[in-house]
Amino acid sequence: MGSLDAENEKEMISGFQTVEPIVYVNGVRRVLPDGMAHLTLLEYLRDIGLTGTKLGCGEGGCGACTVMISYFDPTLKKCVHNAVNACLAPLYSVEGMHVITVEGIGSRRNGLHPIQESLAMSHGSQCGFCTPGFIMSMYTLLRSSKQPPTKEEIEENLAGNLCRCTGYRPIVDAFSVFSRRNDALYTNGSSSLLEGEFICPSTGKPCSCGQNLKGDEGVCTDNRFKQISYNDVDGAFYAEKELIFPPELQLRKTTSLSLKGTYGLKWYRPLNLQAVLDIKGKYPNAKLVVGNTEVGVETRLKNFHYDVLIHVAHVPELNVLAAKDEGLEIGAAVKLSGLESALKVLVDQRPCSQISSCRAILEQLKWFAGTQIRNVASVGGNICTASPISDLNPLWMAAGAKFQISNCKGKTRICPAEKFFLGYRKVDLAGDEILISVFIPWCQPYEFMKEFKQAHRRDDDIAIVNAGMRVRIEVMDSKWVVSDASVVYGGVAPYSISANKTREFLIGKVWDKDLLEGALKVLVKDVALKEDAPGGMVDFRRSLILSFFFKFFLWICQQMGGQLFTVPKSHLSAIQSFHHPSVKGNQDYDIVKQGSAVGNPEVHLSSKLQVTGEAEYTDDIPLPPNGLHAALILSKKPHARILSVDDAEAKLTPGIAGIFYARHVPGDNLTGAVVSDEEFFATKKATCVGQVIGVAVGDTRENAKRAAQKVQIEYEELPAILTIKDAIQSNSFHPNTEKSISKGDVDGCLLSDQCDKIIEGEVQVGGQEHFYLEPQSTLIWTADGGNEVHMISSTQAPQKHQKYVAHVLGLPLSKVVCKTKRIGGGFGGKETKSAFLAAIAAIPSYLLNCPVKITLDRDVDMMITGQRHSFLGKYKVGFTNDGKVLALDLEIFSNGGNSLDLSLGVLERAIFHSDNVYEIPNLRIKGKVCFTNLPSNTAFRGFGGPQGMVIAENWIQRIAMEIGKSPEEIREINFQKEGSILHYGQQLEHFNLERLWNELKVSCNFLSVKKEVECFNRENRWKKRGISIVPTKFGISFTVKHMNQAGALVQVYTDGTVLVTHGGVEMGQGLHTKVAQVAASCFNIPLSSVFISETSTDKVPNASPTAASASSDLYGAAVLDACQQIKARMEPIAQKNNFSSFAELTNACYLERIDLSAHGFFITPDIGFDWNSGKGNPFKYFTVGAAFAEVEIDTLTGDFHTRQADVILDLGFSINPAIDIGQIEGAFVQGLGWVALEELKWGDSAHRWIAPGSLFTCGPGTYKLPSINDIPFKFNVSLLKEAPNPKAIHSSKAVGEPPFFLAACVFFAIKDAIIAARAEEGLTEWFPLDNPATPERIRMACIDRFTRTFVDDPHFRPNISI
């Protein structure tokens, strides 16, 4: 194995040897057979049962697939450890290496690693899907560091890992114990620190329990962390030995390889340059790869196919990294992390006058992708990809770099970097040529180079615009004159371009204000973007071109120490480098214990399974030998008649078992969450891009996908409605979705003289992708000869799965069972959409009588499963000169998409929450759901409430500007109070808003921070700070009355353990943990004696979806009901004897034939709403809260960061305050994404460069979640104390959705900072700001001389898809 077989012997390239390819995985030697070149390392690991490594995105953007790769470097003579994305790494690229996955560092059975233990005990794992990736990133950092890293280094290292649940703060806390200050746990186990502090192995933090250790075990006897476990091995113990680098690999000589994959793929690993050139000569179209970070994305997501791949990572000639007299030589295969390390050394060692270009490249590398990508991506790969937004190519060009190129005959030539890039993804390389190296000349005295980049997100993001600028100045006639210059931009053309006319203008000019003014005028014409430029954001990108040069001008002046031109102190803010301090957080809450467990800040019950990778998710379940994979056949048109479907070629795909359409549906092809307006398989018409037309099933996922892609569909295109405004103009609304509520006399008030002022306006609210880390997934199979159907699904609504599958197959519900153990995040996106996909997979499974698994790729998942509804709000508000609101006339429109789904319920909740917390005597709200030719939108955390509230806060903020008061004052004088009657007739009770608001103003030092912000803004022209406090009131209950019911099954066993089953789903929110605490407290037993296995429709029937934040209330009460029934039966036995344990009692009850099983049930009382009368009590109670934020913006680029956030919520007596704090932090950061980072871009009239109806932002490369470096620098969360809630179980309150909207304080703090920036230009009137407040919207709202060059409208609104 490993060499070309006999048939292909003649094709053998010289120098290749016969060798048995091997890899070590977690210390186990494995032989890699030939024929697997098409596989990634991730696919291989999961195929051999190591499912702790997850598939989150498939493009190296989320970090869920992170593993550690170790190899012996013969040059350094040591082992090198790197974190890599297994989803991109070709399997054979790790041949001869040691792969360590999360399973290899610790387990429950054999003991947790300290990293795993610390993350579990710090509440750093919620849904758990991203957890193994974080563990492995941190583990690799510690294994590869010579000394413990700093906190800042830890946070920087985690930038390539995304989490959607926790808000990152507990992850930072968990890992910070391994930082340079607290490294004892990692290096010496549980030993005392030099300062006398003791690190508790259970918590991973300093504590005072060292004297309570039992023997030498190092286990804290603090009762809070003591485990009493019947079914787990105590995870507090861990092995102190790490897996060593296998001696065989250390002694083994690396050899060349020639291997194969499916569909004719040939994979070569040459060991010298000549071998590379020989292969390239034989296969001119062969693709060279090192990290596979670009080719992997092309082949997996863009359906590219390459016949020959040459892995050149081991070629010495391409790995040269040498400092020479004239400059620095960098081999094309040098990895970016290696370049980064070398540059750090050079910057320290070389004279300052020489390393300006090196420093610029080093600074740019900080923002280049995540650690995992930099560890494998090569310099040459990045260059030859020729991306128009490459971060490094403008710097090579500006630095005057030269590229050494060789053809297959060994002839070399030199090409200047500025002439290498010829067009979009085109470079000056012939088919038989390769890039050998890059040479950067050292800078000369008074030669300066600077890097620039602006992206949607600061870390691990592709650029919107980037630049490299260099200038050399010298004294002529006692003046500093430009003798050489280079100005290069990326992101403004099909490739990185030099501003040659600007360069010509600069040379020979004195570096002064006149040069600046002249250069800016030349730049406008020199680097011109067309209005229809791909990528959009044209005016923003144009302004960045000028802003970057302005920054460069000031930076040069600063570098020269005032010799050129004295920069005003207030202007220095334009060039101050950004420093991200380490995250700090404080969590303040009371513990109100009730029984043995309720009130305790217990860790998530599955946390130790999650940190070891042992927690099982749907796609982790092995497919039986006869199982098939499903791939969807999707529409490519937003609105079209389907004329024909040709699948003849698709059916010839190897491994294909069948292709199915509407005609194959055994039951009903029509479905819907509320009304049946959606087809499982489109028949005559396609009404959106991504609508399902058919499904292909095959023996592998890749074969099924290939077959689906080969299906040819002929369309007749029809006019498409793609936005809310299109729908309004075309009167396109879903039937029977117009809703309205009124209170008082709105028209009379607005026409009277009561209102001193009346304002009218529009608020545009963008949508949001759920981006649960675990993609949609279902495994479905038949049983008993096809008489029954069973499935395991990643869903929030197992009962909906049961219903949809039974419906499409024509079976009774009793013959369909859905089970869910846990899901890797849901947020509403796995309520109806997951059921639809399960039904699709059920059809081939039922007809072929075999198991079928469907797991969506991330891009498909994002494209077809719907998002948070975008909204348009049109308001008219009347108010007094004091700011007291008297009347509100509001019309809201939501973008429902091509089917109704849950859009009506979302609209209704938006109407309920459109007052937020404000007393409005006269109010009228009307709403409609728009029908558009986009995939149907669906539930998302908040379910319409945040959209209604953000519209309210927009007009509140406008009132403040109209009358010259602060928004906080306007909010306070309009607060609802205890006893207020809301616009739908419900009376507020136990309403603690004012108390909570006042506590927040004190705890965040609001007045002093406000003064500091005002002072900062006076002293800084180009950076501004802003603050805001925003309140919220969120109603708790399903707004559909019948859904407010819950069932549970509790079974007590004779050993005293309890098995609980209920209708709710664990998706990271800690529902199972809270419910178990309720059961444990009721029986007064340890929490570890209660077990919750899974949610199953054959155990608890007719369960409502786990949604609306009500699950703890509902299922906690249902479990309590069941427990109390059992407890009542046990009571007579308990009174007869004095039992020493619960186990004794249960055994005695068993002997007396007492039923120790009970079904509990709960309905929420006293709720109901009548839309005909517009009155009722739709909610049982309200969760209220408030949040403060301070932000800082760069007015020249639109960049921002949140300096501080303080959040306080009234959660009654929390069942588990640690879990509730985690929910608050996670919701806040997810909300921060909605208001400031996450933008959906659809192919609509505002984005004509995108195919009509298609989603451009369909993966982490284009859609930006908050990363660990986007959370507030100071992040404080507190729970209101002594505020019991008599309307829910154990006086608690719901927490899942209410905190989400509080992130709006960041949005309005950004607007406050923009107001300060506009004041510099004399603009003091109100202006619109749509959310998300992306860098584009921030920059274009900060009107100045640079933006006015292109847009001179103070109310300019950048395009948005709504």
Q: SS in 3 state form for 922-951?
A: EEEEEEEEEECCCCCCCCCCCCCHHHHHHH
| Three-state secondary structure call for residue 663 | helix
Query: How large is the angle between the packed helices 1217-1232 and 169-176, nearest 10 degrees?
Result: 120
Angle between helices 993-1003 and 1006-1019 (to 10 degrees): 50
| Phi and psi at residue 435, to the nearest 5° | -80, 125
Please report, for residues 169, 954, 1323, the alpha-carbon distance to residue 1305 in angstroms, rounded to integers and kept in the order given: 19, 11, 23
Q: Which two tokens stand for residue 1018?
A: 């006076």
Please tell me the distance from the alpha carbon of residue 859 to that of residue 558, in angstroms, as a whole number: 46
- Measuring CA to CA, which residue among 2, 74, 24, 4 is closest to residue 251? 74
The single residue listed with the structure tokens 């379940």 is 621
Q: Which two tokens stand for residue 865?
A: 């499963």
Contact 28/103 with Cβ under 8 angstroms? no
| Known active-site residue 1297 | yes
| Closest to 318 in 3D by CA, of 331, 335, 337, 336 | 331
Strands 739-743 and 922-931: antiparallel
Alpha-carbon distance of 781 to 463, in angstroms, equals: 45
What backbone phi and psi angles, to 5 degrees, belong to 22? -135, 160
Q: Is 594 helix (H, G, I), strand (E, B) or coil?
A: strand
Measure CA 800 to chain center.
Answer: 26
Handedness of CA 419, 422, 428, 434 (dihedral sign): positive
Q: Look up tokens 């583990």; give the residue.
A: 139
Tokens 């209330």 locate to 1113
Return the number of other C-beta atoms located less than 10 Å from residue 627's C-beta: 17
Candidate list 59, 418, 1297, 1336, residue with the active-site label: 1297
* Angle subtended at Cα 88 by Cα 83 and Cα 89, rounded to the nearest 5 degrees: 65
- Yes or no: say if 1311 and 957 are a contact pair by the CB < 8 Å rule: yes
DSSP class of residue 1255? Answer: B
For tokens 């407010």, the residue is: 1044
Q: Tell how far CA 686 is from the center of its chain.
A: 30
**Which two three-digit tokens encode residue 676?**
């049946």
Contacts of residue 1207, defined as CB under 8 A and 6 or more positions apart, other chains included, come to 1185, 1186, 1187, 1188, 1224, 1225, 1228, 1276, 1277, 1278, 1299, 1302
Beta-carbon contacts of residue 1276 (< 8 Å; ≥ 6 apart): 585, 586, 587, 588, 1003, 1004, 1204, 1205, 1206, 1207
What stretch of H or E contains 192? none
Peptide bond into 388 cis (omega under 30): no
Q: Angle at CA 812, nearest 5°, toward 810 and 814?
A: 145
Q: Which amino acid is at 1157?
A: S
432 burial level (CB within 10 Å; 0-12, 13-18, 19+): middle
Question: What tokens were used for 458?
Answer: 């600061």
Q: Look up residue 1234 and give its DSSP letter.
A: I
- Alpha-carbon distance of 436 to 330, in angstroms, equals 9
Question: d(Cα 38, Cα 17) in Å, to the nearest integer?
Answer: 21
H helix or E strand, kind and range, residue 852: strand 852-855
Question: How far apart, in whole angstroms, are the C-alpha atoms of residue 1063 and residue 1116?
Answer: 11
* Catalytic residue list: 1297
